[in-house]
Copies of this chain bind each other. A is one copy, B any other.
Amino acid sequence: MFPRKDLFALPEGIVYLNGNSLGPLPKSVTPRVEAVLTQEWGKRLILGWSECRWMEQPIRVGNQVARIIGAPSGSVVMGDTLSIKIYQALAAALEMRPKRKVVLSDTGNFPSDLYIARGLLSSLDKGHELRTVAPGDIPERINAGVAAVMLTETDYRTGRRHDMESVSRAARDAGAVMIWDLAHSAGAFPVDVAGCGCEFAVGCTYKFLNGGPGAPAFIYIRPDLTERAVPALSGWLGHETPFAFEADYRPASSIERMRVGTPPVIQMTALEEAMRIWENLDMDELHSASIALSELFIAEVEARCDGLSLAGPRDPALRGSQVSFTSRHGEAVIQALANRGVIGDFRAPDTMRFGIAPLYLDETDILAAVDALEDIMSSHIRDGRLSNMP
């Protein structure tokens, strides 16, 4: 079943291990975007909103994403950016637990999530505290003072995963609202937001879902709670009847209450087309392929490359679809790899990240990447120093 390289416009001679930052271009996206420009915007003009169903695109694409993350149809809507969707989820969560004053997160969370949370708490000025603890300490730190537990499931640096089910259960048992950021999870392995019972989930779509640079984010609300979720950023397209231009805001009864302003039709068309790839994919098979490639990569690197340490879990069940190694020369090594067509990335101070996307990677790619890495580590590092880096 994998890989499906024929679906992607990957450049010749590139081994792309950075789909955890920005997925590659699906071939069918270009003609589809071109059609929306020339046939829809160009020819239908304003009528595109109704006749070409642009207005419904955020919920239509939301349903595509729902399938990937184990959410029921109608519980996910697209829009804006992940930072904005985190803001909306956290603001709604705090309204659900007005007497509790702690937002619990971990030190491995993506900084923007923490920035957004701190900014929101500061502007609310109601005595909330953002408490960040070590990832492993999360379950024991969830208590009756916690309004919301806000976590990124997969650590962006190391690939370490939280156990969504047990953490969500701990939150529920303590009466806290659970918010999952699935940025590095959606499209990487099976996710079951409905099964874990979390109240909110958010994520981006330009990584494993290949939606393109700046593709819109998604937000999920547990369906029984939708009408209790007060929408921060109460823009007109979250209104029950936006085109009635009523004086007062009435949130939509559906997940669409989390819409804000005019959706980016051209950008979302790229995502909508990219999401068609997932229609007939089996996420368990994809995950198995990811694990096989990741295990091969780790085994080969550890057998052939000195000076690299695996970062994050060795157990593939605890790891997202990425492999990270640390090296004091990490930044230079990533650059040297790029010069040889192997694209990973670097996160300070010493982490080299490699995204494993079985949609367009096979064993040959993994071995070619390790060949390049072995050569760099053996030929250009002498006495712990870099020399003659290509």
Contact = CB atoms under 8 A, between A and B. Distances in A.
Interface of A: 9, 11, 14, 16, 18, 21-22, 24-25, 29-30, 33-34, 37-38, 41-43, 45-49, 54, 80-84, 87, 91, 95, 107, 110-112, 114-116, 118-119, 123-126, 204, 206, 212-217, 230-237, 239, 244-249, 260-268, 270, 338, 343, 345, 347-348
A237 B84 CA distance: 12
Contacts of A213: 41, 48-49, 54, 262, 264-266
Given A45-B18, A119-B234, A112 B343 contact: no
B231 A119 contact: yes
A213 B41 CA distance: 7
Contacts of A43: 11
B84 A84 contact: yes
A81 B84 CA distance: 11
A348 B245 contact: yes
A301 to B, nearest CB: 21
A267 B123 contact: no
Contacts of A244: 348
Nearest to A43: B11
Given A41-B25, A116-B233, A261 B82 contact: yes
B25 A29 contact: no
Contacts of A123: 91, 95, 124, 230, 232
Nearest to A12: B43
A33 B25 contact: no
Contact of A118 (B84, B91, B249): B249
Given A34-B34, A119-B232, 14 more contacts: A11-B42, A82-B262, A87-B233, A91-B123, A95-B123, A114-B247, A114-B249, A115-B236, A115-B239, A116-B233, A118-B249, A123-B124, A213-B264, A245-B347
A214 B115 contact: no
Given A18-B46, A213-B54, A264-B264, A80 B91 contact: no
B41 A264 contact: no
B261 A217 contact: yes
Contacts of A266: 33, 212-214, 266-267, 270
A84 B80 contact: yes
A204 B54 CA distance: 18
Among the interface residues A37, A91, A95, which one has the most CB atoms of the partner chain B within 10 A? Answer: A37
29 contacts: A18-B46, A21-B46, A22-B46, A24-B42, A25-B42, A29-B37, A30-B34, A30-B38, A33-B33, A33-B37, A46-B343, A47-B343, A80-B81, A82-B262, A83-B261, A84-B84, A84-B261, A95-B123, A111-B245, A114-B247, A118-B248, A206-B262, A212-B265, A214-B263, A214-B267, A214-B268, A215-B264, A265-B267, A266-B267
A290 to B, nearest CB: 19
A180 to B, nearest CB: 17
Contacts of A264: 213-216, 264, 267
A25 B37 contact: yes
B115 A249 contact: yes
A264 to B, nearest CB: 4
A119 B249 contact: yes
Contacts of A38: 9, 25, 30
Given A87-B233, A236-B83, A212 B41 contact: yes
Contacts of A41: 22, 24-25, 212-213
Contact of A262 (B29, B114, B214, B260): B214
Task: Pick the 8 closest A-B CB pairs, nearest first.
Answer: A81-B261, A83-B235, A119-B234, A112-B236, A214-B264, A115-B249, A267-B267, A213-B265
